[in-house]
Copies of this chain bind each other. A is one copy, B any other.
Amino acid sequence: MLNGFRFQHPVEIRFADLDALGHVNNAVLLTYLESARIAYWLQVTERTGLAALDMILARTEIDYRSPLFFGESVVVGVRAISLRRASFVMEFRALERASQRLVAEAKKTLVYYDFTARESLPLPAAIRAQLFAQDPELREG
């Protein structure tokens, strides 16, 4: 169940995502979360293009709950759960789509970042407002 996740991103499993143990490789699951995070960010901040990816990943925690097999597919719920001056935490929940089986739960800390100046920046007020509008349960601190 993805209750509480207003943004949901589908991911198609590719044959190449499987490893020699016959399930989706653990590192590839992080690629799924990355795709979901970027889709969330572009939609919520109403922008397009690589230049809009103005954040860097500082930390990931992931709990693997069940393996993903060939022929299955995935949906990833994404939400922002807390935010500070220059950083924010996102939460992810990945389900196998047909069975709604829980596949993984994760949290990531992102830092708002200026790639030209190579330094972190305070989250602009407009983006803070967009994140709160998307995820009303988001809290400061």
The answer for the CA separation of A71 and B35 in the assembled complex, in Å, is 11
Restricting to A25-83, which residues have a CB under 8 Å from any CB of B?
25-28, 30-31, 34-35, 38, 48-50, 53, 56-64, 67, 70-71
Is there an interface contact between B58 and A60, defined as CB atoms closer than 8 Å? Answer: no
The interface size bin for chain A is 35 or more
Identity of the chain B residue whose Cβ is nearest the Cβ of A13 in the assembled complex? B35
Q: Mark A1-35, 1 if CB is under 8 A from B, else 0.
A: 00000000001101110111110011110110011
Is there an interface contact between B53 and A21, defined as CB atoms closer than 8 Å? Answer: yes
Residue among A11, A20, A35, A60 with most chain B CB within 10 A: A20
The interface residues of chain A, by DSSP majority, are classed as mixed
Q: Which residues of B contact A70 (CB under 8 A)?
A: 20, 49-50
Is there an interface contact between A60 and B59, defined as CB atoms closer than 8 Å? Answer: no
The answer for the CA separation of A55 and B70 in the assembled complex, in Å, is 17
